Amino acid sequence: MSQSHGYMKALKCRECGREYPLAATHVCEFDFGPLEVAYDYDRIKKSLTRAVICSRPQTMWRYRELLPVAGEPTVGRQVGYTPLVKADRLAQRLGIRELWIKNDAVNYPTLSFKDRVVSVALSRSVELGFKTVACASTGNLANSVAANAAAAGLDAYVFIPSDLELGKVVNSLVYGANVIGIKGHYDEVNRLCAEIAGKYGWAFVNVNMRPYYAEGSKSMGYEIIEQLGWRVPEHTVVPMASGSLLTKVHKAYQEFIKVGLIEDTKWKMHGAQATGCSPISSAQKAGLDFFKPVKPNTIAKSLAIGTPADGFYSLKVMKETGGHADDVTDDEIREGIRLLAECEGIFAETAGGVTVGVAKKLIAAGKIAADSSAVLCITGNGLKTIEAMTGHVGATREIRPSLREFEALLAHDQPAMVAA
Amino acid sequence: MVHISIPPTLRQLCGGEETVTVRPGTVGEAVTQLHHRFNGIRDRLCDEGGRLRGSVLVFVNEEDIRFLNEQDTPLKPGDLVSIIPAFAGG
């Protein structure tokens, strides 16, 4: 393959290995298997060293040889390198020796991990000459496509379930994107988008651009390794909607070994779902390597995918690494959000509550050992799903601007302080 | 007749058609009818045991047949069948 494709070699079917040109296409013509980008790892190994990475700006693009664009990225150049926070207070509450939060709730520019995948998908869409980009989304992806398309001067059509949280709807509309609310759940949005993608020549980031798009998630894994001091955590807990993020963080760990950036080691990938939409965790707990599709019913709308595209592959990764999956109820999701907020000052969206809640369960069950290190992937910001917490976090106490009224209030809370 | 929407990856096999029609019956029988008209299409959609591949989703009037009666799901005149690759979204 020519130099003009950067470090990419071809698109390759994950099932049969047939190769395809590096175009906007996502499934194998022969068995409908998913296409994945194949790289020239030998060349990457020669050019991507720790010193090279460290010399570059702190964004996801410091690992650009391992990301599927041919030239320099043109969309979302500032995305990524979010904080990896040592969460000692939460560690104590959950009963684990070492705990870290990978905080994509503050990813740039739209406060979710989706800016990673969109940055790659739109940069590649520009390379392939597209003018209109689109997506099927549970909300965060719509926000990111709308914002990044606006910044890049591309037209955007984003398709979402019509009952999404208001914050996620406004956060797509404000950028001037065409926001289409579908009267149905995400799986129905997704089916419609597959049909639209087959008819119109647009870059659908998670349909025909999916082989490139999905690779953007790997950057979360690269950053975790680098920020931990070039080591892989023993346990990584990842929320699962389609299951793609879990497989890509795992792939990131594998690739850093493959290109010689770290020594070979072992780790476990664990998956988190909401009980109201748990096709993957139910299958994992039952020891199955396939899942049964479900109709979602959960406050974790960003994870409400009843037919997860990477369900099969995420089950495979958990099995291969010795990881586990579990799921939590709506009340446990809210408790998880509160725990993270009260212990670490991080307000995550519902998917974050799922991740914290499941981590708590896995630690309590000994599936994540108390004497080990774990990273929790927090993928979105709590300000986008305010509805889920409204009425569950207490209420403001109102007083007149009077010192006497304040002291009456304080006397109720802390009598000793006022008496002194 | 029953209308079947053909995904782009299969259109070349179906003479470039976006939609083809088959006689009423079941989803499984519709695949057989397609196979007789467009040689090779069953091998794309089904595994060696004749079951639809996990990578293929089939919808009848917008409902996933896994929530209906899988390949035995009946098709009546006027029904719309969509064939969609599973690996999208998320």
Q: What value of ipTM does the predicted structure carry?
A: 0.91
pLDDT(A287) > 80: yes
Extract the tokens encoding A416. Answer: 């000793």
Calculate mean pLDDT across residues A191-218: 95
Q: Which of B9, B66, B88 sits opposite A29 (nearest CB)?
A: B9
Give ∠ CA A272-A273-A276 in degrees, rounded to 5.
160
Going by pLDDT thresholds of 50, 70 and 90, the confidence category of residue A282 is very high
| Domain containing residue A280: CATH number | 3.40.50.1100
B60 in contact with A at a CB cutoff of 8 Å?
no
| Cα separations in angstroms, A227 against A39, A53, A85, A268, B11 | 24, 12, 9, 18, 48
Positive or negative torsion for Cα A251, A254, A258, A261? positive
In chain B, the number of structural domains is 1
Question: What φ, ψ does residue A134 adopt, rounded to 5°?
Answer: -155, 170
Give ∠ CA A33-A39-A44 in degrees, rounded to 5.
160
- Whether B90 is in a domain gets the answer no
pLDDT(A251) > 50: yes
- The SS3 of residue A134 is strand
Residue pair A58/A311 in contact (Cβ under 8 Å)? The answer is no
- The SS3 of residue A75 is coil
B51 in contact with A at a CB cutoff of 8 Å?
no
Q: Which chain A residue lies closest to B18 (C-alpha atoms)?
A: A199
B59 in contact with A at a CB cutoff of 8 Å?
yes
Extract the tokens encoding A366. Answer: 């000994």
- Whether A254 is in a domain gets the answer yes
Asked whether the beta carbons of residue A194 and residue B88 sit closer than 8 angstroms, the reply is yes
In chain A, the number of structural domains is 1
Predicted pLDDT of residue A416: 86
Q: Which chain A residue lies closest to B10 (C-alpha atoms)?
A: A29
Q: Which chain B residue lies closest to A135 (C-alpha atoms)?
A: B89
- Whether A239 is in a domain gets the answer yes
What mean pLDDT is reported for chain A?
96
Asked whether the beta carbons of residue B62 and residue A305 sit closer than 8 angstroms, the reply is no
Beta bridge mates, B20? B4
Residue pair B85/A193 in contact (Cβ under 8 Å)? The answer is no
pLDDT tens-digit map of A28-55: 999 999 999 999 999 999 999 999 999 9
Q: Which of B54, B55, B84 sits opposite A191 (nearest CB)?
A: B84
pLDDT(A305) > 90: yes
Asked whether the beta carbons of residue B66 and residue A198 sit closer than 8 angstroms, the reply is no
Positive or negative torsion for Cα B20, B58, A216, A299? positive
Predicted pLDDT of residue A1: 40
Predicted pLDDT of residue A418: 77
Residue pair A205/A145 in contact (Cβ under 8 Å)? The answer is yes
Extract the tokens encoding A29. Answer: 């013509």
Residue pair A126/A74 in contact (Cβ under 8 Å)? The answer is yes
What amino acid occupies position A238? V
Q: Based on the number of CB atoms within 10 Å of its own CB, is B8 exposed (0-12), middle (13-18) or buried (19 or more)?
A: middle
Domain housing B28? 2-85
Q: How many Cα atoms are found within 13 Å in the side-chain-facing hemisphere of A408?
A: 9
What CA–CA distance (Å, rounded) separates A310 from A251? Answer: 13
What amino acid occupies position A347? F
| Residues of chain A found within 8 Å of residue B66, distances taken between Cβ atoms | 292-293
Q: Which residues contact A215 (CB under 8 A, 6 or more apart)?
A: A37, A67, A68, A117, A120, A248
pLDDT tens-digit map of B21-63: 999 999 999 999 999 999 999 999 999 998 999 999 999 999 9
Predicted pLDDT of residue A257: 98
Classify the phi-psi angles of A379: left when phi > 0, otherwise alpha if psi is within -120 to 50, otherwise beta.
alpha
Please, what is the angle between helix A244-258 and helix A218-227, to 10°?
50
Which element (helix H / strand E) includes B26?
A: strand B25-26
Residues B43/B47/B51/B54 CA torsion (nearest 10 deg): -110
Predicted pLDDT of residue A419: 66
Asked whether the beta carbons of residue A29 and residue B53 sit closer than 8 angstroms, the reply is no
Predicted pLDDT of residue A420: 57
pLDDT(A268) > 60: yes
| Residues of chain B found within 8 Å of residue A136, distances taken between Cβ atoms | 88-89
| Residues of chain B found within 8 Å of residue A144, distances taken between Cβ atoms | none
* Continuous H helices in A56-209: 88-94, 114-127, 140-152, 166-173, 186-199
Predicted pLDDT of residue A162: 96
CA distance B68 to chain A (A): 12
CA distance B6 to chain A (A): 9
pLDDT tens-digit map of A67-121: 999 999 999 999 999 999 999 999 999 999 999 999 999 999 999 999 999 999 9
Question: Distance between alpha carbon A214 and the CA centroid of its chain, in Å?
Answer: 10
- Whether B65 is in a domain gets the answer yes
| Residues of chain B found within 8 Å of residue A197, distances taken between Cβ atoms | 88
Going by pLDDT thresholds of 50, 70 and 90, the confidence category of residue A26 is very high
B5 in contact with A at a CB cutoff of 8 Å?
yes
**Polymer length in residues for chain A:** 420
- Whether A205 is in a domain gets the answer no
Calculate mean pLDDT across residues A327-345: 98
Asked whether the beta carbons of residue A194 and residue B7 sit closer than 8 angstroms, the reply is yes
pLDDT(A2) > 60: no
Q: Which chain B residue lies closest to A30 (C-alpha atoms)?
A: B44
Indicate which of A15, A27, A238 best probes the interface with B, i.e. most B CBs within 10 Å of its own CB: A27
Predicted pLDDT of residue A415: 87
- Whether A146 is in a domain gets the answer no
- Whether A364 is in a domain gets the answer yes
What CA–CA distance (Å, rounded) separates B90 from A275? Answer: 18
| Domain containing residue B44: CATH number | 3.10.20.30
pLDDT tens-digit map of A360-385: 999 999 999 999 999 999 999 999 99
pLDDT(A4) > 90: no
What single-letter DSSP state applies at residue A348?
A: B
Q: Is the peptide bond before A57 cis (omega within 30 degrees of 0)?
A: no
Classify the phi-psi angles of A139: left when phi > 0, otherwise alpha if psi is within -120 to 50, otherwise beta.
left
Percent of chain B whose pLDDT exceeds 90: 86
- Whether A71 is in a domain gets the answer no
Which element (helix H / strand E) includes B51?
A: none
Of the candidates A10, A237, A22, A15, the one whose C-alpha atom is nearest the C-alpha of residue A124 is A22
Calculate mean pLDDT across residues A154-175: 96
Beta bridge mates, A134? A157, A204
- Whether B23 is in a domain gets the answer yes
Domain housing A91? 84-110+217-389
Beta bridge mates, A132? A155
